[in-house]
Amino acid sequence: MKRVLITGGTSGMGLSATKLFLEKGWKVMAVDINGDRGEKLIKELNKKGYNDVYFYKCNIAKDNDVKILYDYTMKTLNGIDSIINNAGIWTGGMLHETKEEDWNRIFDIDVKSIYLTSKYFVPYMIENGGGTIVNTASVSGMFGDYNMAAYNAAKGAVVNMAKAMALDYGKYNIRVNNVCPSACATPLFLSNPKKVVDLFNEANPLKRICTPEEVAKAMYFLASDDSSSCNGVNLPVSGGLDVHTGQPVQ
């Protein structure tokens, strides 16, 4: 039975990933900073017959927290086969308007957290024949947006970090890839005013935004042996939003 760690694994895309990996027969360590939500999720999943799921409350941007997470995961799962670095936040605004604390926070959670999980878990993968790492980047890491400078910069770092990691770790049979969603129909996003959601749906070539379940399927594909030759890939889950030049319809 394979083992996966999913950060941000109790809500949104991460929750869908937690459920999908369980359905596929994996042992899952779901990680989140919200302890109450995590404990509630475990109880719900246990009632549905999923007993190979565990939760750990962790500030994924703090070194010592991730070190303890590593120790707990090794003890509980007896190893690791895949890491889904899904935890992330968003902040808007032009660069000169962005507060320093907001800049630091988004880089801590969206970028530094990947460094920290790699720092502690990659040595195990190297010593034990390999594994897979899947990061949640974004189409906003591949292209620019209006009023999203900090988010674009953070997700852009994730986009390029996966390429560097793929080069460094491929020889150890560790594959590193990203999923790059567009706006996603999570409960949080759908809590926006309807006119905002409608604008995002209309801007998409499919005339709808992606779902958490669709992103989770892409995560699973990249984590599993089905993608055995995929390495350093930034896989858009965007409905084709990323293929447009931005020019008006002729």
Q: 161, 163, 204: which is closest to 185 by C-alpha?
A: 204
Q: 210, 128, 139, 122: which is closest to 178 by C-alpha?
A: 139
Length of the chain: 250
Backbone angles phi, psi at 85, to 5 degrees: -85, 85
Catalytically annotated residue among 56, 70, 151, 220: 151
For residue 172, indicate whether it is catalytic: no
Q: Which residues contact 202 (CB under 8 A, 6 or more apart)?
A: none
DSSP labels for 63-118?
A: HHHHHHHHHHHHHHHSS-SEEEE-------B-GGG--HHHHHHHHIIIIIHHHHHH
**Could you say which DSSP state residue 33 is in?**
S
Q: Catalytic residues, which ones?
A: 151
